[in-house]
Structure 1
């Protein structure tokens, strides 16, 4: 059991009256000086496993974090809670670095966030050796493993850091995504015993996983956003070009969208990120560079409009939805063309052949996830080594009641066309032939003389292409080749063509209102929070997460004492913001200063 002081800090500083699963065990080990590996899903409360010990241990806790955004976000949140913390990274000049190291040496800060590359400098390590360091916390610890999805060479040097520091601090490593193989690799590299592994499981009970296939993704996306208005979410794609295309599309539909990718100017990226964090533009379209280290708790949906490279990446990115434990959606829009894009990325990478082979294996698992009929949550948990689980009852496969329609005749038309061209063409040409297109390529190759020419002319070419994607995803067709793949029949496809098997296709999934509606009181509190956010220059979720506002809306506290009992309201938050929200609940027309220092 975590000691009384830890429980007191949990209430006073963070506003929670009990620890989540695994947190007590991790804190007890850290306070005892034992090396520990914590595996918890995104939103599971990993940071408290080192933040609370940092306040109880003497001296300094050094937190290794791979991303500048994560450092600033967490330091801002800690400082707003009255916890002295700072960071050192490439955004800080050398004079300010010296000042922050002085603050750490004098005990003026309890947590120091640093990038892993810092430990490549002997001068920096020497500076730390003049400071009493009790704990080394390594966030995103999967980056240290060559078997992980985000291996970073800069993390390898961290294994030697505890011995290089004269205080020989205890180590706590933390990650949300680690297969059994990756977890073992992390433990071996950081000297963490088997008893030091705390794995709370990977299930996210508030997430509804969905896979959408075989349809117009743009239409689905627009319908979903319009049916779930005023909700914050992230739409992930794989390329800058697709970010810009979707941004233009959704902006024309008058949806409140922002965009983020590496090709934008730094100033534009920063403005987009701020618009998203402050809920001015609650929908962010981004490449996967966005979101790591963004602790925005009220993300209600994460939609992957293009399939990511592996299941670890997908689960980590999808897990950015619902960090506040409220109901949220994680949706994958799958199309076979995304597979070819990921093949292209693998082939263009600088990694050796062994690592490319590993990437292809991981990609194959991702494709299986997109096409499985089993519970999606079960599939994910099994991949991470968590067996003997029950169906979640919430994912699109568990809830799939769509009618299956016999499409064998159309399938035979497509398969026959692939055979007639001797499997020499790809999806675009096959769709053109079947639609009866009259262009130069069709005439040049005399494809209009085929018996399958125009067989599906009653359908649009895009519909035929989508149907070909369906046949490919279902295993009746297979793509071959790299950048310009051709189509070929599989054994099951050949059986369909011979009339030995039938093909059934479920009717298209329709976007639905899947997120619960917000009541008027919650909306009023959210408006108060939004104004406070603008005044204090803090993102809204740092003032109070949606979960806390929902609790206020439901319980309607009438006094500051009752407000303190709300989950997420600590004493520091109560002093700063309690009366403002109490007045909003009781509808008193009083104007308050939003000075965060008052």
Structure 2
């Protein structure tokens, strides 16, 4: 049964008093009500939708302790700092604490000093964690980033399998809540089974985030494209994701030489440098973070204005989670992917050499499971490649992938903004599939790059050595550009007229539909993008310009400077004090009393008492100066 229950009035009172919000976002009230009624729950909610409030509000209303399983120390630290700023007693049990600090946290937890304690999954089955859970009594167990428990997901972590055993060892089983930002139907089922959720109230909030602009570029030079984008968005905070440590180093070094306040993050750096660089980004001392996917899960920084993927990720789930770190404050933000065919080959290499699929040749159960996992990863990569090369609406592609319906046009992505025209590709398509067929007659197969070389008559040494220059299709498209050939081939694969087969080195093969191209009596017309960079740039600018409400830039600047001083005194990142969206609402409402200040979203009772006098005084001084 998935019928919602009534939400107690006290939940709204806690929401306003502690967190400063008048109402709940979509899905929050239903999950909170279910947990308060003692029911297990599964919430699939996009990044920025407020998953943390779904367990924090019940934690403050339930009598005992809420334990939150979270994968990253940075997430725990940010969440604990934000809760303490809101007057909530909270702590984390993490390796970042000194032995004395850890012992003190355990001692305080045993004494009932905390309402919420965060713990890494690796520490769940430790004696101290079990002792806390057994002696204090858990009112709620929340599992964040729950997709990590699923072997069908994109970020499986074996340590998450300990959650089920932890629950079994508890003297009394509390309600268990699982949360994730992205999960297909298969992954949702795996979460429910792996965590042994009991008849969970399941709610999947639509993953669409209207404040995000999606864009795919296929630049001739990625670095030039990145620099051009950053120059148009100077001073804004953002992340540049790269596939390898080497690329992170290259990007960070170049951005530094070009005058950008950039830093870096990857697993090859020392723990001390990673923490220092992450803090520089979180505290706005650096505005651009170049990083591998080692950075970001659980990063709670709300004012990330853009996420640029310098390389294509390995799957759509990873892409959505990483891109979703933009615009957490509800402000408009960009998600830009710089695509190259080399990204596909690199990702295949990473999948092949990630440890999966290696062992005793597939004879043992472990190696069989690893091979199955590798094949799942390759299938996920194929879908990511389709996203990167599609001519359809990017937003609709993502929504359909996760099982949601979507209109074919959103008007807020680069494909909707770009100029596509149905193009007659009949002759090109026939030449392409004929080349694949002629090679197959000799027992040969090859990928997209080799196909383009053959059709364009390349004198590549490997091509000549394989005697591919003797194919009847050699050089029959010598006047076509490699870009055009690649685009038509991508469309044929996307529409199922050709197949990409193979793991490490994918090759083109005929499909059940290929014969239709050679036998067709009517033209084959496919949507091909015309070069219209100006249209894409214009659409992006229009998207941001549509964000309503005039903000006085001088007042906003003054409030940001005050926030920076307050955050420095408290030794927390600025967004922990107030998000940018809260400051902008102050600029609109211009509160001059503490009572009016409390009406600003994001201002709870504790923050009103802490900061109300200083911020209202700043606003009064601005108004009296006549600067506006």
Do they fold alike, i.e. is TM over 0.5? Answer: yes
Deviation of 1:216 after TM superposition, in Å, equals: 3.4
The equivalent of 1:398 in structure 2 is 416
Deviations 1:181-203 (A, max 9, x none): 21122223334345511222212
1:121-178 per-residue CA deviation (whole Å, 9 max, x = no partner) reads 3554234312222111111111112212112111112123223111322211111111
Specify the alignment match of 1:189 in structure 2: 194
Aligned mate of 2:203, from 182, 186, 198: 198
Q: 2:62 aligns with which of 50, 53, 57?
A: 57
Work out which of the residue numbers 491, 503, 508 in structure 2 matches 1:474.
Answer: 491
Whether 2:566 is the aligned partner of 1:532: answer yes
Residue 39 of structure 1, CA deviation: 1.5
Partner SS, residue 198 of structure 1: strand
Q: Secondary structure at the match of 2:207?
A: coil
1:387 aligns with 2:405: yes
Indicate the larger mover: 354-363 or 524-533. Answer: 524-533
CA contact 1:61–1:135 (8 Å) conserved in 2: yes
TM-score normalised by the chain length of structure 2? 0.82
Q: Would the aligned equivalents of 2:316 and 2:383 in 1 still touch at CA under 8 Å? A: yes
- In the alignment, which residue of structure 2 is the partner of 1:326? 331
Confirm or deny: 8 A CA contact 1:119 1:125 kept in the other structure: yes
2:531 alignment partner in structure 1: 507
Change (3 A) 1:383 1:324: same
Query: CA RMSD of the aligned region, Å?
Result: 3.7
**Which is further off, 226-235 or 538-547?**
226-235
1:432-466 CA distance string (max 9 Å, x none): 9999999998999999999959966xx9xxxx665
Q: SS of 2:337's equivalent?
A: strand
Alignment of 1:96-175 (within 5 A): 96-122=101-127, 124-175=129-180
* Distance in 1 of aligned mates of 2:604 and 2:196: 36
- 8 Å Cα contact 1:405-1:506 kept in structure 2: no
Structure 2 unmatched ranges of 5 or more: 1-5, 357-369
Deviates more, 1:122-131 or 1:62-71: 122-131
> Of 619, 622, 628, which aligns to 1:585?
619
- C-alpha distance 4-305 of structure 1, shift in aligned 2 (>3 A): same
- Contact between 2:501 and 2:508, CA under 8 Å: does it hold in 1? yes
Distance 2:424 2:523 in 1: 14
Shift of 1:57: 1.2
Note the C-alpha offset of 1:565: 0.5
SS state at 2:417 partner: coil
1:59-106: per-residue Cα shift (whole Å, max 9, x none)?
211111111111111111111111110111222344433321221122
Task: Give the whole-Å Cα distance in 1 for the aligned partners of 2:372 and 2:482.
Answer: 34
Partner of 1:6: 11
Aligned to 2:363: none
- In the aligned structure 2, how far is the partner of 1:509 from the partner of 1:202? 28
The equivalent position to 2:39 in structure 1, one of 22, 34, 50, is: 34
Which residue of the other structure, out of 39, 43, 50, is the alignment partner of 1:45?
A: 50
Between the two proteins, the alignment pairs up a number of residues equal to 584
C-alpha distance in structure 2 between counterparts of 1:228 and 1:189, whole Å: 43
Secondary structure of 1:234's match? strand
Determine the C-alpha separation between the residues in 1 that align with 2:484 and 2:587.
Answer: 47
Question: In structure 2, what is the equivalent of residue 236 of structure 1?
Answer: 241
**Distance in 2 (alpha carbons) for counterparts of 1:380 and 1:218:** 26
Could you tell me which residue of structure 2 aligns to residue 593 of structure 1?
none
Q: 1:197 to 1:433 in 2, by over 3 A?
A: closer
Q: How does 1:364-379 map to 2 (within 5 A)?
A: 364-379=382-397
Aligned partners of 1:389, 1:579: CA distance in 2, in Å? Answer: 48
Aligned equivalent of 1:72 = 77
**Contact preservation (8 Å) 2:429, 2:517:** no
Mapping of 1:452-471 within 5 angstroms?
466-467=483-484, 469-471=486-488
Query: Partner of 1:315 in structure 2?
Result: 320
Deviation, structure 1 residue 468: 5.2
Query: Bigger CA drift: 372-381 or 517-526?
Result: 517-526
Give the SS at the match of 1:129.
helix
8 Å CA contact 1:404, 1:507 repeated in 2: no
Superposed counterparts of 1:557-572, under 5 Å: 557-572=591-606
Pick the aligned partner of 1:219 from 210, 221, 224. 224
1:576 lines up with 2:610 in the alignment: yes
CA offset at residue 297 of structure 1? 0.5
Q: 2:269 aligns with which of 264, 271, 274?
A: 264
Q: CA deviation at 1:219?
A: 2.6
Secondary structure at the residue paired with 1:161?
A: helix
Using the TM superposition, name which of 35-44 and 413-422 deviates more. Answer: 413-422
Q: Assess, with a 3 A threshold, how the Cα gap between structure 1 residues 540 and 15 changes in structure 2: closer, same or farther.
A: same
Alpha-carbon offset, residue 417 of structure 1:
10
SS in 2 for 1:332: strand
Shift of 1:268: 2.3
Match 1:543 to one of 560, 577, 587: 577
Distance 1:417 1:505, change over 3 A: farther
